[in-house]
Structure 1
Amino acid sequence: MSVLLEVSGMTAAYGGVRALDGLDLHVDEGEFVVLLGPNGAGKTTTMKTVSGLLTPLSGRIRFAGRDLVDVPGWRRAGLGLGHVPEGRQIFPDHTVLENLALGAFPIRRRRAEAARRREEMLEIFPRLAERGSQLAGTLSGGEAQMLAIARALMADPRLLMLDEPSLGLAPLKVAELFDHLKRLHDERGLTVLLVEQQAGTALRLADRGYVLERGRVVVEGTGAELRGDPRVQAAYLGRLRQ
């Protein structure tokens, strides 16, 4: 597999507090990679820095062989980086279909493709088809998360980054969400970088994973290796140890 995303020596800070400290990681084309770690470990900062919402102090970000450090975030979306941030951040006063149309901004000039992508998203997430004319702000938590993912997929990204997509969802909705992600990865070959606190479920889906602490990678391995690692079991899996 070829390397799609490569982060090397990346440092970043908020107000003088260093959130990333020489971070190194990579995601290969077609992989499902999970980031684990305690609050404040740098997981969300990693996502924001890769997508261009935060400028790193130093380090290198390469995507599909291109250096991204000086590329603005809106251009990164056009290059194939999709980002579903923590908290979903859909447009509550717009309908479901309008939210999907806004997600197609990077391919807006290719109208036929944008229309095809919309129909594909409504097929993948049939509940959204039922809610097409409904204001996004009136959706349930699970529906809103599906919309956030579908909106990111409208631009046909090469890499989809998701930050805590299960946050605040009921267990049944979490299972439904992860089923959608598995099918997108397995059946459509979507490359995924996932930040998730539901470590046991996430590692069952993952090809590989990283554990971050204080802005650095402290453990890495395949999903199975991390599930079997005593350090990961003690810190993140609890009674799910297996």
Structure 2
Amino acid sequence: MMYYFKHELSKNTYRKGATKPTMKTTSQIPSTIETRALAPLSDMRPATLEKIEKAVRKVFAGFDSNEVTMAQIAKSANVSLQTLYKYFGDKQTLFYTIMDIVLGRLAARIMDHLQGIDSVQDRLRKTLWVCFDFVDSHPDAVMVLSSVSASRIRNIAIYENKELIGAFLNVLEDGQNRGVLNDTVPLYILFDVFMGFISRLGLMHIIRQTDTPINAEFDALFVILWRAISKPDI
């Protein structure tokens, strides 16, 4: 949900093969592939972008991604198809861009807590609360993200944000150095346990359609997580 992967849109590369020189006629004019640059999102009205974000979350959460069309999203957002193509170009770019915006806001909140001056336990506690609050407030986004394949997850830029990952690993390393976190495993193991805990519990909470917010059980859940990553008592 929160690691940050570099956003790299796949591009088609066209290579001209070597051919013998030939005389060109009017019917042999070389064809060119025009690539029209997308309009920057900064040009879009914030209210319009918000409507598109809500539509993407709603439509992709309710249908298989292969069945979703740009027309469905445009209708749900009450915007024109022309607007979607102008700013996003295609369905995949629209999806990954919007998901990056959604997770970007979450990442900013996480960074605030990871870089605090509290103890390691308190920083991780606040970070977990923020993540579960995201589950409670954005269940559709959680469902959509759970459907993204491992081979495609890197298309969401937030999943490879070095600053965010670095801040997280620094907290975990600080915990190991202070003797409060398990130091018999690499940092990435602690990181994966933390993230896996959030992902599994968050997704199943939504699938089970639990009436109460997941943060209603926060204290008990944090105890479980803390016991899993803290240094065992000798």
Is the shorter-chain TM-score for this pair beyond 0.5, marking a shared fold?
no
Find the structure with the greater CA-based Rg.
2
| TM-score, normalised by the number of residues in structure 1 | 0.27
- TM norm structure 2: 0.27
Which structure shows the bigger proportion of residues in helix conformation?
2
Structure number with higher relative contact order (C-alpha < 8 Å, ≥ 6 residues apart)? 2
